[in-house]
């Protein structure tokens, strides 16, 4: 079983958007996917309640309890959406079970500062060295100064960036229907699927 954790202690960076689309991609690949939500708000669980029956199945469970990473048998892939403020004991438990760690990051000074502290904490934990870590820039407009500063920050810490995803309403519209980029005709979201290609390759390896 492969466990993919989506984490960043900063709230509002796009963790749920990233987690749901990762789950959608894995489900399209034919895997038995569980989307766990360790946040008390249960955003992913609410999103799955909107998912139409004809969409590829993704199962959920409340991962805010103590059995955070104990899904039922038969699961091949777990995607875990984590709460804001994750650190210390909670972070240690997540890293102990995780195989891959995705860190969403937006081009704002507040996100950059929070992610710097998070990265430092990750580096202090020996187990994190064995993790396959990838950073995804969220809601990035490549034409802006903020995007340039985000790239400079990532380069300064030598973070393993996978992709920069553009700011678009398509994620919001799809989420409102319980869907992902991978549940609709590729022609409808071609530009975004191109941006997701390196993330998909990372998930498949």
pLDDT in tens, the chain (205 residues): 899 999 998 888 999 999 999 999 999 999 999 998 776 667 888 999 999 999 999 988 755 555 555 667 789 999 998 877 777 777 777 778 889 999 999 988 888 888 888 888 887 765 555 788 999 999 998 888 888 888 888 888 877 899 999 999 999 999 999 999 999 999 999 999 999 999 999 999 9
The reported pLDDT for the residue numbered 5 is: 93
pLDDT of residue 121: 80
| Total residue count of the chain as it appears in this document | 205
How far is 153 from 205, CA to CA, in rounded Å?
Answer: 27
- pLDDT at res. 21: 98
Considering the entire predicted model, what is its pTM?
0.91
Full 3-state SS string of the chain = CEEEEECCCCCCCCHHHHHHHHHHHHHHCCCCEEEEECCCCCHHHHHHHCCCCCCCCCEEEECCCCCCCCCCCCCCEEEEECCCCCCHHHHHHHHHHCCEEEEEECCCHHHHHHHHHHHHHHHHCHHHHHCEEEEEECCCCCCCHHHHHHHHHHHHHCCCEEEECCCCCHHHHHHCCCCCHHHCCHHHCHHHHHHHHHHHHHHHC
- Decide the pairing of beta strands 33-37 and 77-81: parallel
Tell me if 186 sits within 8 A of 197, measured CB to CB. no
* Residues in contact with 96: Cβ distance below 8 Å, sequence separation at least 6, in sequence order: 127
pLDDT computed for residue 182 by the predictor: 98
What residues does 80 pair with on adjacent strands?
Answer: 5, 36
Measured CA angle at 204 (ends 47, 74), to 5 deg: 60
**What are the CB-based long-range contacts (under 8 Å, 24+) for 190-198?**
191/166, 192/165, 192/166, 192/168, 195/163, 195/164, 195/165, 195/166, 196/21, 196/25, 196/163, 196/165, 197/163, 198/162, 198/163
pLDDT score of 127 = 52
Instruction: Look at strands 100-105 and 161-164 and give their pairing.
Output: unpaired
């Amino acid at each position: 079983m492969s466990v993919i954790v989506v984490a960043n202690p900063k709230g509002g960076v796009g963790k749920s958007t990233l987690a749901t689309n990762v789950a959608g991609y894995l489900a399209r690949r034919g895997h038995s996917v569980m989307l766990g939500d360790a946040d008390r708000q249960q955003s992913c669980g609410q999103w799955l309640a909107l998912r139409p029956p004809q969409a590829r199945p993704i199962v959920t469970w409340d991962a805010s309890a103590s059995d955070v990473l104990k899904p039922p048998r038969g699961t091949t892939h777990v995607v875990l959406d984590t709460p804001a403020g994750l650190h210390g004991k909670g972070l240690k438990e997540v890293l102990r079970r995780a195989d891959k760690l995705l860190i969403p990051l937006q081009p704002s000074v507040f996100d950059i500062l929070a992610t710097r502290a998070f990265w430092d904490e990750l580096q202090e934990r020996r187990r994190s060295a064995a993790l396959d870590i990838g950073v995804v820039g969220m809601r990035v407009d490549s034409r802006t100064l903020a995007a340039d500063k985000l790239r400079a920050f990532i380069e300064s810490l030598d973070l393993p960036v996978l992709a920069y995803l553009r700011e678009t309403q398509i994620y919001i519209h799809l989420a409102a229907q319980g869907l992902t980029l991978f549940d609709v005709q590729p022609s409808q979201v071609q530009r975004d699927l191109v941006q997701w290609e390196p993330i998909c390759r990372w998930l498949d390896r």
